Structure 1
């Protein structure tokens, strides 16, 4: 098990929610933490907490929808600290979106907010980790990426696309020492998720979710799904015939 000591750790999507809490949890221990997000004030507050806990911290304001900005972030981290040991790509949004009401532009937007933003960091990170001889890339996916969830169809599809891409990269790049961990949280009580109107069975707090993430960063499993209640429900529904899973999912969506 890795100890996450004296590591350069890049966290994308760190101004609030799981990303911010993970940054705070990893502060100290000689780690150098880089936090990235669009919101400067919130990001600066997280960076201040990390520095107060004893870590060097670089806070970079960047929009993950801009591939040039993402590449510049990776380059800046390397210029500042020499390498990227661990990267957590904690980006994406899952709005309430009924397929009977959705437009083409809506679906494209959700794909951009979940798939494109991951690719924009994934490509330059892979290039850097190849140059330095390896490292860990973790990506916050969702249990919705394992099956089509009613009222979250475009989000489920985008996360499924990311899952497939990471799975392929894991196999291809293992000989070069590049490791991948896909994180599959269930419902987390973040401020953004609390306002989307969706039902959230077995919801956990940001601090609980962050503990699961940090544990996965240390153990580096290929896949880490949590909490066990929601992940077990998803496993059962995936294995069940549609005649069984469909009515259950419709009931949950109500």
Structure 2
């Protein structure tokens, strides 16, 4: 019987690539979007779900379970970017980002665990970010929300191991997607003390995304993980230097690593 997969944020970018790849491999895939009507040509069903609203999560999860009788793989992919000097990012935008990137996945996990426990099997894949391994200038809120999800997964894995439910993180680097378009940008203020360094960093970030890797690399990695008997705690997918930066952070003194980041971002 085909495995049933739920992908939050499956209408575009990495989520769409993963969904289309898994469909070709014979999986029964359901994606989600806050506006499913905008994606009539999707190669798999797109259901209405907003990770900020628990009722939409429960409704969609129940729809899939009632239709398929099972739910085997859940991919927490819905996420939002955010940039800006932390001092100038409005509190409500910081909270909104954590609602999507951190509290949203928790809500989804809580909604699917009863079914997976009943099946005595299941796999939950949390899409985090290489940015979650380090505090990046002008992306501090994003780094913090994704880093929090990385740590949450470490704890959750141990709690659900006895139910034969597996959980892992997949941290992408920069991929060629439309994330920059949907990102919250704190405005570049003329009278801001951060105007030049923030503006320069913003240009650099957008270049990284525009020149990013093919999202199909993520799809192939997720497929491999689904077919792995005992997934690792953390996976990283992206350019060599992005992955190597995590190794450098582990082995270099903190201030040396900080200097490397500041040189990279020219601040």
Task: Give TM class, smaller chain.
Answer: 0.7 to 0.9
Please tell me whether residue 246 in structure 1 is matched to residue 234 in structure 2.
Answer: no
Alignment-derived partner of residue 222 in structure 1: 233
For structure 1, the residue ranges without an aligned partner over 5 or more in a row are 51-57
**Match runs of 1:109-124 below 5 Å:** 109-124=96-111
Please tell me whether residue 31 in structure 1 is matched to residue 31 in structure 2.
Answer: no
Query: Per-residue displacement from partner, 1:114-140 (whole Å, max 9, x unpaired)?
Result: 112111201011122112212000010
For structure 2, the residue ranges without an aligned partner over 5 or more in a row are 184-201
Counterparts in 2 of 1:61 and 1:159: CA distance versus 1, 3 Å: same
Shift of 1:213: 2.7
**Match runs of 1:158-173 below 5 Å:** 158-173=145-160
Shift of 1:42: 4.2
Please tell me whether residue 212 in structure 1 is matched to residue 221 in structure 2.
Answer: yes
Counterparts in 2 of 1:128 and 1:98: CA distance versus 1, 3 Å: same
Shift of 1:91: 1.4
Select the structure of larger CA radius of gyration: 2
Measured in 2, the distance between the counterparts of 1:126 and 1:251 equals 44
Please tell me whether residue 137 in structure 1 is matched to residue 124 in structure 2.
Answer: yes
Range with bigger deviation, 140-149 or 29-38: 29-38
Aligned residues: 241
Query: Per-residue displacement from partner, 1:191-230 (whole Å, max 9, x unpaired)?
Result: 2236863522883122233222322333233211112431
Q: TM (normalized to structure 2)?
A: 0.83
Alignment-derived partner of residue 232 in structure 1: 244
Measured in 2, the distance between the counterparts of 1:222 and 1:242 equals 24
Query: Per-residue displacement from partner, 1:73-132 (whole Å, max 9, x unpaired)?
Result: 111110000010111110111222222322322221211121121112010111221122
Alignment-derived partner of residue 125 in structure 1: 112
**Match runs of 1:86-97 below 5 Å:** 86-97=73-84
Of the candidates 34, 40, 57, which is equivalent to residue 36 of structure 2?
A: 40
Measured in 2, the distance between the counterparts of 1:116 and 1:73 equals 17
Of the candidates 207, 212, 215, which is equivalent to residue 203 of structure 1?
A: 212
Verify the 8 A CA contact 1:9 1:34 in the aligned structure 2. yes
Q: TM (normalized to structure 1)?
A: 0.87
Please tell me whether residue 17 in structure 1 is matched to residue 13 in structure 2.
Answer: yes
Range with bigger deviation, 111-120 or 37-46: 37-46
Note the aligned Cα RMSD (angstroms).
2.0
